[in-house]
Structure 1
Amino acid sequence: MSTLHVLSHSPFGDHRLASCLRVLGNKDALLLCGDAIYALQPGSAPFAQLQAAGLKLFALAEDLQARGLQAPDWTKTIDYPAFVELSIQHDKVNSWL
């Protein structure tokens, strides 16, 4: 059973990212959107955590563009139709509200 975890809050305001990383299973994936995109700032602690985690990581292209960031090569950039497809591919979707 796989879960798509959707994170939209800044990793600098609370501990949702760390909590999410603790519960991710080997078949799970993580989608960063909204202010969670800031976790992809090179040189930041969240960036290092994500890089070391070796997980299936996705980022919403629109949110990357809005924040002037680029996804590292270990992150797949997707659009909204791909987000829907990704949601269908997983058994559950967990939004970290």
Structure 2
Amino acid sequence: MATLHVLSHSPFADTRLTSCLRLLGSQDALLLCGDATYALTQATPPRSALEAHINTFELYALEEDVSARAITLPDWVRRVDYAGFVELSIRFDRVNTWL
């Protein structure tokens, strides 16, 4: 079953991103929101980890959180607003929020 994984915690504070990346399948997607969007900061280990999986799964970032943190998204990350977040939640069979 396809799963949308939602991360909101900073990748610099714990290992949730690393754990999540190990579990993602080709039909899954990852949505970064809140402080998890810092994983997209250039020249950091979390960004490198995401880059290593570019063609493995779909990667999304919540527009409001990206803008609030002044992060420049690479072209391989899709921006979504809150309505897009809801659409993703409906599209996937399951939603796993990494609390």
With normalisation by structure 1, the TM-score equals 0.98
Q: Which stretches in structure 2 are left out of the alignment for 5+ residues?
A: none
Return the alpha-carbon distance in structure 2 between the equivalents of residues 19 and 38 of structure 1. 17
Where do 5+ consecutive residues of structure 1 fail to align? none
1:71 deviates by 1.1
The Cα shift of 1:63 comes to 0.1
Map of 1:28 onto structure 2: 28
**Runs of 4+ with >2 A deviation:** none
User: How far apart, CA to CA, are the structure 2 residues paired with 1:61 and 1:4?
Assistant: 17
The count of corresponding residues between Structure 1 and Structure 2 is 97
Aligned-residue CA RMSD (Å): 0.5
- For residue 74 of structure 2, what is the amino acid of its counterpart? P
Identity across aligned pairs (percent)?
A: 60
- Please give the TM-score of this superposition, normalised by the length of structure 2: 0.96
**Is 2:86 aligned against 1:66?**
no
